[in-house]
Structure 1
Amino acid sequence: MPTVRKIAHEFLERRGLTTIFGNPGSNELPFLADLPASFTYVLGLHEGVVVGMADGYAQATGRPALVNLHAAAGSGNAMGALTNAVYSRSPLVLTAGQQVRSAIGLEAMLANVDATSLMRPLAGWSGEPSCPGDVPRSLAQAVFEAELRRRPTYLSVPYDDWSAEIDDNPVLDRAVRRGLSPDAAQLDDLARRLAAARNPVLVLGGDIDALGLFDRAVAFAEHFALPVWVAPSPHRLPFPNRHPLFRGVLPAGIGSVSSRLDGHDLILVLGAPVFRYHQHVPGPFLPDGAALVQVTDDPGEAARAPMGESLVAAAGPVLDGLLARLPAREAGETAFAPTPEPATGERALHPEQVFAALRETQPADTAYVVESTSTNSAWWRQMDLRRPGSYFWPAAGGLGFGMPAAVGVAMGLPGRPVVGVIGDGSANYGITALWTAAHYRVPVTFVILRNGTYGALRWFADLLGTTDVPGTEIPGLDFTAIAAGYGVPATTVSDVDDLRAQLKTAPAGPRLIQVDTEPTTP
């Protein structure tokens, strides 16, 4: 009879989950034994980095990614990175080893005492098999739940289960599919409302890019000549940011969003919550006279919205249905907006100079993984992103996403240039990703913006009137020396010409460029 391990490996192979991101402990070794040759194990040196790499890989490929963590302590180490995966709606399947069944109740070393509760409420589903024979079904449920919910799931498996022999399992032939198409009446009603609106506006969220709808969203906006805002704090870019219909990224405050949308009578939101606020800016949720309709495939997003109407449906069929029902309107201006001259720094390069150099030297299909909060405004002033999958950002704002996710995105998009733009404060949270990049020869460029501060914190200190707090300065960091220790070639640049020259070379593996920049605010 086959073992539980053999059936599990075969199920994962049939589902295409053959890349495992992990940092194993003793409890995980029985699962990892006898891996088929088709599997690839990607080792990370910290569990947060492991989840960050898997998050980037899942977003880049659009497919679930398999993560292998160690019991309670290792799973706990991963939870910070898991917050980003939750809000990017990445279908991660997290597996973790558990003590042998007879030792769990004794709370033996490395027992996960309440494994199913540990990762909640972050995990969309968590479980532990009731017996060895239930392991394949539980693993299948973890995979299907991740696919259906588009949210990480967590499965804890006692390590003595893997070698148990069981009958051939019907789970190998299972398939679960998702379909959320709106009906004709719903599409007719939405089309009528858009046609009747005096000044409608489209707000797009990161899900549009994640679901492969970037080009369809552009076609729809152009067809109906709709101005386009991007929902606050986007983890993906759903629309070209120099397009003549692009109006910008909405700020993350209640009153601020309302003021930006003032004058519009119908706000159509596709692929985003309404809205993910951050800094507290009181005000009305919507401007006077405005109605809002949200389209999302996440029932939770629809249920918790504080205003407007929500249609729980897939955005793709909605876009297609509206395109078929609405007549084209005159578009007006069709030329893409030029980028302004970059601001210059006095003591070091201004971040705009760095971003202008990236825009001028990197291929048009470059994928950027960005984790530099204090340079947000500089980023959007200088970049010109016109392709799907061009932008990745920590969806929950949890630091440590950028460097690992850049490795995962590069692994998921072979042949496409990948640049991680990382602040010096953020870089330290995921620094061990450098070792993985070096070990697996991942062709990724890390650009470290070094200003010696937690720039976003200084901005918040001004916003909150708390300018005398400690812990916002981080001087003396040398990322070139750190990178060399992990095996990544690195250099420091101090002027624009040198930066451009460095960026024009295509890396065969990973590289790191450290750039001293002047502090800025979001």
Structure 2
Amino acid sequence: MQTVLSATFDVLRTNGLTTIFGNPGSNELPFIGQLPPDFNYVLGLNEGVVVGIADGFAQASNAPALVNLHSAAGTGNAMGALTNAWYAHSPLVVTAGQQVRAHLGGEAMLSNVQATVLPQPLVKLALEPALPADVPRSMAQAVHTAMGPPRGPVYLSIPYDDWDQELDADAPSIADRQVRHGGRLAAEDLDHIVARLRAATRPALVLGGDVDATEANELAVTLADRASVPTWIAPSPYRCPFPTRHPRFQGVLPTSMRGLADVLAGHDLILVIGAPVFRYHHYQPGPILPDGTSLIQLTSDPGEAARAWAGDAYVCDIPSALAGLIERLPETGAASVPRRTSGPRQDEDNWPVAPARVFDTLNSVVPDSTIYVTESTSTTDAFWDTINLADQGSYYFAAAGGLGFGMPGALGVKLASPDRKVVALIGDGAANFSIPALWTAARYGIDVTYLILQNETYGALRPFAASMGITAVPGLDISGIDFCSIAAGYGVPAERVGSGRELAGVLKQAMDSPGPRVIVVPTSLDQRRW
């Protein structure tokens, strides 16, 4: 006779969820203590690291990832990382142990009080089965909900005395059940969008992370070429949906209303695909769209469509919509608008090293197929001006802007992409939010090269403060951190470089050697644009 535990393992196995990312507590021991031999457990030293690894893994594998947290306290520790997963549409199945059912009424130690309320609003669905026999079905519901459009995290709280309960012999099996999703645009909708594109005199294309997440980058390139349109990436990108060396690529849009409208001025139609309209950050009041400009949004997220600031929205499957538009557009050889270019570089032997020089060095040393996971917010402009991103799934960033994603996220990306090099570009401020990820890197021998860009300040906040007219801000200096010693303490080889030339040699060694490595690069402060 099956138990709740064995039936749940069947559900997880059928859906490919045989790797568990977790940090154990007492409520979780009855679950993880009886793992079948085909299941693996990846340990992170705190819950934020655990969710960050799973987030990177889910995005890079295009598949759900299973997370195991410790009751309410562990869930609370993970909430910052869960925010990034929510905005990245990462299909995480987040499980948390709960006290035994007999203890719940008295709020015994480690009870998850109002468990379904705690993770809101950062999950699509939060469940706590009403009885033990419903755990396997609830797990299946969690998996299918996480993978349904728009994808996202789901939370499941499970009392730990449920696992050993026996199921009735005639209980229905749900392990092999499948859920399929549609969402194609109707032919008349595609015809209407194409008609508006053809009627526009200066259309433009804006792409978001869901293009890359649905493996539709090549389709986006074809559409840009067919429509002969300049192409931008939507503000605050967490993935890269378009090759950064393509002649039609114009860069990343600003994160303010005024800045974005200024950049798009002169275009009479904006086609936004796979992105919100728009996700602002820096408050600079201005028009949502330039005068005389209309907008069309294609998104897989009904919420994004409903809350958009402007334009007509279509909720649909992104790849099929792109393919439908391409079918209706003739090939054209019209010239594109030249993309912006970066300014002059500092000499490679200057110290501290200019961020742009670091990125130039990466372009010349690492393989073209390298995946970048970034969390160096003060070097954003230099990164997008300089770095060469050509392949699908080459870039990941914290989708909600919450620090702590980069170091663990890189590990998850590498686990899901074993045949590609992974380089994590981490600011010295961000590194401290999830530095224990280095232990997991060393423990499992995960081949990630970390570049810690050390400017000894919360660099992104300085231009932000200046734009607000604030001149005296305490707590921005973070000097005196010895990241090489910290890395060594976690078991990861590390060294500090002092020039672009030295960096090239150290990077080449890292690319040729398996396993994790930390390279600390003293960098000058890069003043971001808004």
TM-score by length of 2: 0.96
1:270 aligns with 2:273: yes
Residue type of the partner of 1:202?
L
Alignment partner, residue 517 of structure 2: 511
Gaps in structure 1 of 5+ consecutive residues: none
Matches within 5 A, 1:198-347: 198-332=201-335, 341-344=344-347, 347=351
Alignment partner, residue 472 of structure 1: 476
2:203–2:229 CA contact under 8 A, matched in 1? yes
Matches within 5 A, 1:35-46: 35-46=35-46
**Greater shift after overlay, 328-337 or 206-215?**
328-337
2:96–2:158 CA contact under 8 A, matched in 1? yes
Residue type of the partner of 1:143?
V
Matches within 5 A, 1:127-146: 127-146=127-146
Residue type of the partner of 1:183?
A
Alignment partner, residue 150 of structure 1: 151
Alignment partner, residue 506 of structure 2: 502
Tell me how many residue pairs correspond in the alignment. 522
Residue type of the partner of 1:289?
G
Q: Secondary structure at the match of 2:130?
A: coil
Residue 342 of structure 1 and its aligned partner are, at CA, apart by: 2.3
What is the rounded CA distance, in whole Å, between the counterparts of 1:142 and 1:249 in structure 2? Answer: 35
2:250–2:338 CA contact under 8 A, matched in 1? no
Residue type of the partner of 1:140?
A
1:366 aligns with 2:370: yes
Matches within 5 A, 1:90-169: 90-148=90-148, 149-167=150-168, 168-169=171-172
2:58–2:65 CA contact under 8 A, matched in 1? yes
1:470–1:336: structure 2 CA closer, same or farther, 3 Å change rule?
Answer: closer
Write out per-residue CA displacement over residues 178-216 of structure 1, whole angstroms, 9 at most, x where no aligned residue. Answer: 110011111111111111111111100011001100111
1:146–1:152 CA contact under 8 A, matched in 2? yes
Write out per-residue CA displacement over residues 99-145 of structure 1, whole angstroms, 9 at most, x where no aligned residue. Answer: 00010110000001110000001111101000001101111111111
Write out per-residue CA displacement over residues 411-452 of structure 1, whole angstroms, 9 at most, x where no aligned residue. Answer: 110020000000000000010000000000001100000111
Residue type of the partner of 1:161?
D
What is the rounded CA distance, in whole Å, between the counterparts of 2:103 and 2:183 in structure 1? Answer: 44
1:256–1:376: structure 2 CA closer, same or farther, 3 Å change rule?
Answer: same
Alignment partner, residue 15 of structure 1: 15
Matches within 5 A, 1:173-188: 173-188=176-191
Q: Secondary structure at the match of 1:407?
A: helix
Q: Secondary structure at the match of 1:357?
A: helix
What is the rounded CA distance, in whole Å, between the counterparts of 1:201 and 1:249 in structure 2? Answer: 13
Q: Secondary structure at the match of 1:429?
A: coil
Residue 328 of structure 1 and its aligned partner are, at CA, apart by: 1.8
1:90–1:78: structure 2 CA closer, same or farther, 3 Å change rule?
Answer: same
What is the rounded CA distance, in whole Å, between the counterparts of 1:289 and 1:224 in structure 2? Answer: 20
Residue 464 of structure 1 and its aligned partner are, at CA, apart by: 1.2
1:135–1:157 CA contact under 8 A, matched in 2? yes
Alignment partner, residue 72 of structure 1: 72
TM-score by length of 1: 0.98
Alignment partner, residue 360 of structure 2: 356
2:248–2:338 CA contact under 8 A, matched in 1? no
Q: Secondary structure at the match of 1:41?
A: strand
What is the rounded CA distance, in whole Å, between the counterparts of 2:185 and 2:451 in structure 1? Answer: 44
Q: Secondary structure at the match of 1:293?
A: strand
Q: Percent identity?
A: 55
What is the rounded CA distance, in whole Å, between the counterparts of 1:341 and 1:174 in structure 2? Answer: 58
What is the rounded CA distance, in whole Å, between the counterparts of 1:474 and 1:131 in structure 2? Answer: 50
What is the rounded CA distance, in whole Å, between the counterparts of 2:198 and 2:470 in structure 1? Answer: 49
Residue type of the partner of 1:70?
H
What is the rounded CA distance, in whole Å, between the counterparts of 1:497 and 1:53 in structure 2? Answer: 32
Write out per-residue CA displacement over residues 45-66 of structure 1, whole angstroms, 9 at most, x where no aligned residue. Answer: 0000000000000111000100
Q: Secondary structure at the match of 1:187?
A: helix
What is the rounded CA distance, in whole Å, between the counterparts of 1:111 and 1:509 in structure 2? Answer: 39
2:49–2:404 CA contact under 8 A, matched in 1? yes
Q: Secondary structure at the match of 2:106?
A: coil
1:105–1:113 CA contact under 8 A, matched in 2? no
1:7–1:169 CA contact under 8 A, matched in 2? no
Residue 173 of structure 1 and its aligned partner are, at CA, apart by: 2.2
What is the rounded CA distance, in whole Å, between the counterparts of 1:334 and 1:362 in structure 2? Answer: 29
1:460 aligns with 2:464: yes
Alignment partner, residue 423 of structure 1: 427
Residue 39 of structure 1 and its aligned partner are, at CA, apart by: 1.1
Q: Secondary structure at the match of 2:242?
A: coil
What is the rounded CA distance, in whole Å, between the counterparts of 1:270 and 1:41 in structure 2? Answer: 37
1:54–1:471: structure 2 CA closer, same or farther, 3 Å change rule?
Answer: same
Write out per-residue CA displacement over residues 236-276 of structure 1, whole angstroms, 9 at most, x where no aligned residue. Answer: 01001121101110001111111111111111000000010
Residue type of the partner of 2:407?
M
What is the rounded CA distance, in whole Å, between the counterparts of 2:338 and 2:173 in structure 1? Answer: 57
What is the rounded CA distance, in whole Å, between the counterparts of 1:502 and 1:112 in structure 2? Answer: 48
2:99–2:160 CA contact under 8 A, matched in 1? yes
Gaps in structure 2 of 5+ consecutive residues: none
Q: Secondary structure at the match of 2:313?
A: strand
Residue 347 of structure 1 and its aligned partner are, at CA, apart by: 4.4
Write out per-residue CA displacement over residues 466-511 of structure 1, whole angstroms, 9 at most, x where no aligned residue. Answer: 2211110001001100000000000111111111001112231000
Q: Secondary structure at the match of 1:349?
A: coil
Alignment partner, residue 197 of structure 1: 200
Write out per-residue CA displacement over residues 147-186 of structure 1, whole angstroms, 9 at most, x where no aligned residue. Answer: 1131101000000000000034421121111110011111
What is the rounded CA distance, in whole Å, between the counterparts of 2:33 and 2:244 in structure 1? Answer: 47
1:443 paired residue among 420, 443, 447: 447
Q: How large is the Cα RMSD of the aligned pairs? A: 1.4
2:265–2:290 CA contact under 8 A, matched in 1? yes
Residue 454 of structure 1 and its aligned partner are, at CA, apart by: 0.3
Q: Secondary structure at the match of 1:189?
A: helix
